[in-house]
Amino acid sequence: MVSLHSSLGTERKLVTELPGPKSRALHERRRTVVSAGLSTGFPVYIERAEGAILEDVDGNHLLDMGSGIAVISVGHAVPEVVDAVSAQVAAFTHTCFMVTPYESYVQVCEELAALTPGDFPKTSALFNSGAEAVENAVKVARLATGRSAVIVFDHAYHGRTNLTMALTAKNMPYKDHFGPFAPEVYRVPMSYPFLDGLSGAEAAARAITEIETQVGAHNVAALLIEPIQGEGGFVVPADGFLPALSEWTTRNGVVFIADEIQSGFCRTGDWFAVNHEGVIPDLVTTAKGLAGGMPLSAVTGRAELMNAVHEGGLGGTYGGNPVAAAAALATIRTMRDRDLPARARVLGETMLTSLRSLAQDVAIIGDVRGRGAMIAFELVQPGTKIPNAAAAKSIVNYCNERGVIALSCGTFGNVIRLLPPLVISDEQLADAMSVFASAVRAAG
């Protein structure tokens, strides 16, 4: 039995090669019973975690620079969350909010109404996964507007369910042979400064012209966008792009949905990435950082939209589960108490400074970008903007083998993303950055 508040120490420590013998044995066992359709970035099997440290079954201590894909922003096993979850498990684990409700669901919705941008009445509905939140946001927008078209962007990632596969841009591995996909989804160009060189206003005009000529504004229920794209490559749109789109949606009665599932909850140095330019979405989807690793997602937005839905039109057996809700409340409290938005900004400065100086003398880094603790670098063939996925793969492998969990992303698989838990220490981050630097030099 693992103690409630374990102590793993604070340093990366390798006692076997990675993956170690126990992880390799588990991976063999897995092959016979786990679908081959599930990929694994690095087959090191985890037993415990604390802060930014993962302990594997062989006793190695790894430094987590991925946060389980931007989920453990608050840190692994932080005492506040562990205590809240443990107490809730002992009290009750499920009633179904649609059968007999409980206070923590209401409290999470109060927090979401207070934290999301916009000074107007807001209501929320809670779900389990990010994809489920996105699907429900689209349902709300269609019902409230009586229109059907949904606008999405190049490089977008919104999930793997049937509707969200249609909303997601990248074919492999998310969509290939899984169609037919949902209709009335229209994809327009994203602002991608490194590749298109356009200003935010120019990129918005390009997208809006496509919408108006190919779809017609009056047919559009929702414009759905990640304020900083996640899986698609940590693409940060040029300043002015999001405000111009937001203004266009307001003028045309289109619901502006910000998918903040990856960028939200302190990750970018603010509670939400849209805050950077003061954009106020009509609906916001959240999930990853929200509940300290417990499955919880939400759609939050203008009460007149969210409440337009007939009673019973939204829901699900597990949505807003009491254990996940308790975790979310403790996570939000911890983020506030420890001022994790400010910490994310500090981490971002450190990562950007380190990567920018590296980019000066390594020709394979084409671009360094991101905001707060959502930072990435894009790998290219030297002297060009041609994607270099091989370099990304070799950098990820190099880091992983040395006990630094690294993630790639991007439509072309050529972007490395840095997503540390926001409670990572300065020393841990410095250690991780030096491993990334060696990895990049080795790949270059």
Name which of 129 and 388 has its Cβ closer to ligand PLP: 129
Q: What would you measure as the largest C-alpha separation in the chain, in angstroms?
A: 62
> Does 249 contact ligand PLP by CB under 6 A?
no
Please state the φ and ψ torsions of residue 161, each to the nearest 5 degrees: -75, 175
Number of residues forming the site for ligand PLP (CB under 6 A)? 14
Q: Which is nearer to ligand PLP, 188 or 391 (CB)?
A: 188
Residue 291 tokens, joined: 């509940």
Q: Which of 20, 68, 193, 230: binder of ligand PLP (CB under 6 A)?
A: 230
Q: With contacts defined by CB under 6 A, name the span among 225-233, 327-335, 339-347, 433-441 that binds ligand PLP.
A: 225-233
Q: What stretches of 101-196 show up as alpha helix (H) in DSSP?
A: 103-115, 130-145, 162-167, 193-196
Q: Which of 19, 159, 237, 293 binds ligand PLP (CB under 6 A)?
A: 159
Residue 32 C-beta: closest distance to ligand PLP, Å: 26
In the set 261, 335, 379, 429, which binds ligand PLP (CB under 6 A)? 261
User: Which residue in 12, 147, 158, 343 binds ligand PLP (CB under 6 A)?
Assistant: 158
Candidate segments 126-134, 145-153, 172-180, 377-385, binder of ligand PLP by CB under 6 A: 126-134
Q: How many CA atoms lie within 13 A of 246 on its CB side?
A: 21
Ranked by CB distance to ligand PLP, the top (closest) residue is 130
Decide: is 259 part of the binding site for ligand PLP (CB under 6 A). yes
Q: Tell me: does residue 283 bind ligand PLP (CB under 6 A).
A: no
Query: Going by C-beta distance under 8 Å and a sequence separation of 6 or more, which residues neighbour residue 188?
Result: 151, 152, 153, 154, 206, 207, 210, 211
Q: Counting every residue, how long is the chain?
A: 444
CA distance 406 to 100: 42
Nearer to ligand PLP, 326 or 407 (CB): 407
Instruction: Select from 115, 222, 245, 287 the one that contacts ligand PLP (CB under 6 A).
Output: 287
Q: Which of 63, 112, 134, 169 binds ligand PLP (CB under 6 A)?
A: 134
405 forms bridges with which residues in the sheet?
Answer: 64
Find all residues with CB under 8 Å of 90, minimum gap 6, and list them: none
Q: Within 146-263, where are the H helices?
A: 162-167, 193-196, 200-214, 241-251
Nearer to ligand PLP, 267 or 402 (CB): 267
Answer for the pair 208, 198: CB distance below 8 angstroms, yes or no: no
By the rule CB under 6 A, 267 interacts with ligand PLP: no
Candidate residues 68, 130, 227, 293; the one interacting with ligand PLP per rule CB under 6 A: 130
Determine if 157 is a binding residue for ligand PLP (CB under 6 A): yes
190's tokens: 């994203």
CB of 235 to ligand PLP, least distance (A): 11
Instruction: Decide if residue 129 touches ligand PLP (CB under 6 A).
Output: yes
Distance from first CA to last CA of the chain, Å, rounded? Answer: 45
Neighbours of 9 (CB within 10 A): 11
Note the residues at the interface with ligand PLP (CB under 6 A). Answer: 129-131, 134, 157-159, 226, 230-231, 259, 261-262, 287
